[in-house]
Amino acid sequence: MHVRWVTALMAIVILAIAGCKKVISVSLAGADSKYVIEGKLDNTSGCSVLLSTTEDINTVSGFQGVDSAVVTLTVAGDSLIYLKRIKKGSYYTSYTGEPGKTYSLQVVINGNVFTASSTMPQQVNMNSLYVSNRNIAGKKKYVPVVTYSDPAAIANYYNFVQVVNRKSAGLVFIQEDHLTNGNDVSLPLLLTGTTITDSYLTEIDKGDSLQVEMQCIDANVYRYWYSLKTGASGEGLMATPANPVSNITGGALGYFSAHTSQVKKMKVED
């Protein structure tokens, strides 16, 4: 998911308040550009890092990839691993992580050094994926449901990435086991909005291909997604737009997540 930042969200709020009856001129102060790091390491497909910069609201022109960075990955007792630039702003290595180990990411850009660490949790398996027919706001909706057995011994944190017809839903589905520790869980991938109409935002139709990736994430990465979901995304009823809580030091925005990955796919049928 590409990160949406505060300036754009402020503009949306202002437009919503203005309505259609009166034109309101608002002068928005410019924001200093910051580096954005989106790093992911899993146990199946390797490590990828997206590097970009934020933009002032008056000059937004899409993804601003950053080249000429030195990106490295390390784990205690192992050698330094360099990520290769594969396209503008995108870096990759096929090195895969191992549950239980802590990984450190370092990004050096024009003399600026940014670091982050993340511990890959033990994998919790997704037992099944299916869709449930539900009546939401008077309309029939297909709702994806994942099932898994949460371990009782430790705290667990999850992130679910939903893809419909090979297109990411672009939504944050996270879960922690405060209320489900040690239980068998059936989790509908619903967003909690301010009304029942707002609570499900992704349309899924009969015949669609559905894919869900289950990530077991550490506590710091969960805090990042939680703050993005409830704050920077404006999902919470009283949420004030703000940058999400990052596990990256040095002043960059974004996150670095070492997580397990399991994917299930299906075709939506009645």
pLDDT tens digits for 173-182? 999 999 999 9
Please give the structure tokens belonging to residue 215.
Answer: 């990530």
The stretch 121-133 carries a mean pLDDT of 95
Same domain, yes or no, for 142 and 199?
yes
pLDDT at 9 over 60: no
* 24 contact partners, CB below 8 Å, separation of at least 6: 14, 17, 18
Per-residue confidence (pLDDT) for residue 61, from 0 to 100: 60
What integer is the mean pLDDT of 72-93? 93
Q: Contact 268/132 with Cβ under 8 angstroms?
A: no
Lowest pLDDT segment from 52-61, 111-120, 194-203: 194-203
- 172 in the same domain as 106: no
| Pair 78, 134 in one domain | no
Per-residue pLDDT, 130: 95
Phi (first) and psi of residue 129, to 5 degrees: -135, 130
Residue 242: pLDDT band with limits 50, 70, 90: low
Shared domain check, 185 and 254:
no
Q: How confident is the model at residue 147 (pLDDT cuts 50, 70, 90)?
A: very high
The residue-averaged pLDDT of 243-248 equals 90
pLDDT at residue number 79: 81
Which range marks the domain in which residue 145 is found? 126-217+262-267
Claim to verify: residue 115 and residue 143 sit in the same structural domain: no
User: d(Cα 105, Cα 110) in Å, to the nearest integer?
Assistant: 17
pLDDT greater than 60 at residue 270? yes
Amino acid at 209: S
Q: What is the pLDDT of residue 237?
A: 42
In a domain, 1, yes or no: no
The pLDDT mean for the chain works out to: 82
The answer to whether residues 116 and 135 belong to one domain is no
Give me 234's structure tokens. 């404006």
Residues 158 and 209 in one domain: yes
| 235 located within any domain | no
Residue 131 shares a structural domain with residue 95: no
Nearest by Cα to 93 from 71, 123, 76? 71
Indicate whether 36 belongs to any domain. Answer: yes
Q: What confidence tier does 190 reach under pLDDT thresholds 50, 70, 90?
A: confident
In whole angstroms, give the CA distance from residue 36 to residue 3: 8
Dihedral of the CA atoms 186, 131, 166, 246 (nearest 10)? -30
Tell me which residue of 161, 156, 160, 118 sits closest to 258, measured CA to CA: 118
Residue 166 lies in a domain: yes
Same domain, 12 and 114: yes
Q: Does residue 151 share a domain with residue 202?
A: yes
> Are 164 and 251 part of one and the same domain?
no
Number of domain units in the chain: 2
Residue 224 lies in a domain: no
Q: What is the chain's alpha carbon radius of gyration, rounded to the nearest angstrom?
A: 20
Residues 11 and 58 in one domain: yes
230 pLDDT band, cuts 50/70/90, is confident
pLDDT score recorded for residue 99: 97
Mean pLDDT, residues 68-72 taken together: 96
In terms of C-beta density within 10 A (0-12 exposed, 13-18 middle, 19 or more buried), how is residue 257 classed? buried
d(CA 166, CA 212): 11
Write the CATH number for 186: 2.60.40
Query: Would you say residue 142 has pLDDT above 80?
Result: yes
Q: Is 96 a residue whose pLDDT tops 90?
A: yes
Segment 63-91 shows an average pLDDT of 91
Q: What is the pLDDT of residue 140?
A: 81
Mean pLDDT computed over 75-85 = 89
Specify if 229 maps to a domain: no
* pLDDT value of residue 92: 98
Q: Confidence class of residue 28 from pLDDT cuts 50, 70 and 90?
A: very low
In a domain, 74, yes or no: yes
